[in-house]
Amino acid sequence: VLRRGPEMGKDTLLMGAWLALAPHRLNSGLPVNIGVLFVPQQEAWVVERMGKFHRILEPGLNFLIPLLDRIRYVQSLKEIVINVPEQSAVTLDNVTLQIDGVLYLRVMDPYKASYGVEDPEYAVTQLAQTTMRSELGKLSLDRVFRERESLNANIVDAINQASDCWGIRCLRYEIKDIHVPPRVKESMQMQVEAERRKRATVLESEGTRESAINVAEGQKQAQILASEAEKAEQINKAAGEANAMLVKARAKAEAIQLLAAALAQQNGSAAASLSVAEQYVNAFSKLAKDSNTLLLPTNTGDVTSMVTQVSVVRGTPLSCPGEMEVATHQGLALSSPLRLSCSFQALGIYTTLTKPQAVKTQDEMPPAREDPQPPLAEVLKAEEASSS
């Protein structure tokens, strides 16, 4: 009980009230029981009564019995961050590593954290180091770098299994740095460079392959388009030829119909005979241009046709007035020209046929024969008889 004396002022009274309500702490850092205590948020105060666990004070206003009740432990319910010191570990392929990490944990049960272990933070730190060494021994160096997240998860699971009886829960564990020996670091650098060169080679080869595929695909499409164009051209050409043939056939049919109509008229046969004779003469004219061979019809008795053929071969009309005269061949050699004179009264044309033979040199000419030649009339009769 504070007594107000004449020497005590208003400030002294307020200071006394604050000292009565504020938690006092001993040199150990624990609050002093003055009967009325205010527990901060996210803290748990473990109270013992006469040396035995009594209760845990919740945040807010709390009342205790002085001298009988004692605040034995103060546990923080916040998340705690602990730096795990650097330590050496050997991997599965016998590579020594220097590794450190960070541990995140929280007090879940203040009673177990107070009475289950002497120093929970130190215990969890040592457990994290031993667990990390054991987990690294299960992995090779390459897997340590590749499976870093799975390694952290395995360490957290191992810590939680052991720290459950301590009232502490490990939230996560993170590896900070991994230090490898210099030689191993050089070999890793060489491996990385080789892997990069390999990837560059693979990418270059894939680019070449894609380029070749694109070129081949382009050539394929070009050939397909060219073949389709050629096909369309052939189809159009065939259609054009077919149409042309149809037009020619129709024209020929119309010509035949007109010719038949003309032949049905008066003097149509004579006109047809004249047309056939003109075609016959033109055909023999073309044969005589390329060769000096004379083709005679089988009907040798028809002197008119023979004269016409000879006239065509010679290229100039033969004229000889008067009646038909046949010169005798007596006294003429085989190399002498054959002369015929006739009168073609049917056509009103007088022609003379002279068909010279090729003149041979004196060395090539055979000796002259003195055998008498048969008359021309007999030769013609013999030819007519043989043809009949």
Q: What is the Cα–Cα distance from 17 to 1, expressed in whole angstroms? A: 10
Looking at the 3D structure of the chain, how many domains does it have?
3
Tens of pLDDT, residue by residue over 66-106, are 888 888 888 888 889 999 888 888 888 888 888 889 999 99
In the numeric block, which tokens belong to residue 255?
A: 């010509």
- Residues 382, 281 within the same domain: yes
C-beta contacts of 115-122 below 8 A and 24+ residues apart:
115/53, 116/165, 116/166, 116/167, 117/166, 120/163, 120/166, 120/167, 120/168, 121/80, 121/82
The enclosing H or E element of 379 equals: helix 376-387
From CA 180, how far away is CA 193, in angstroms rounded? 18
Residue 150: which CATH number?
Answer: 3.30.479.30
166 within a domain of the structure (yes/no): yes
367 located within any domain: no
Last residue of a domain, one of 144, 165, 180: 180
* CA dihedral (183, 187, 188, 190) positive or negative: positive
- Domain end position, chosen among 29, 60, 76: 76
Residue 209 maps to a domain: no
Report if residue 117 sits inside a domain.
yes
> Minimal CA–CA distance to 318: which of 304, 326, 331, 307?
307
SS3 (DSSP) at 178: strand
Residues 6+ apart with CB under 8 A from 330: 372, 373
Using CA atoms, how far apart are residues 123 and 87, in angstroms rounded to an integer?
16
Interacting residues of 182 by C-beta distance below 8 A, sequence separation 6+:
none
Residue 366: phi and psi, rounded to 5, are -75, 160
Q: Tens of pLDDT along the chain (388 residues)?
A: 333 444 444 454 444 444 444 444 444 578 887 888 888 888 888 888 888 888 888 888 888 888 888 888 888 888 899 998 888 888 888 888 888 899 999 988 888 888 888 888 888 888 889 988 888 888 888 888 888 888 889 889 988 988 888 888 989 998 888 888 888 888 888 988 898 999 999 999 999 999 999 999 999 999 999 999 999 999 999 999 999 999 999 998 888 888 788 777 777 777 777 777 777 777 777 766 665 555 555 555 555 555 555 555 445 454 443 333 333 333 333 333 333 333 333 333 333 333 444 444 444 445 544 545 555 556 556 656 655 5
Same domain, 282 and 382: yes
Instruction: Show which of 33, 58, 76 is a domain's final residue.
Output: 76
Residues 41 and 137 placed together within one structural domain of the fold: no
Q: Do 352 and 318 reside in the same domain of the chain?
A: yes
3-state secondary structure 329-340: CCCCCCCCCEEE
Segments forming the whole domain that contains residue 33:
10-76
The answer to whether residues 103 and 166 belong to one domain is yes
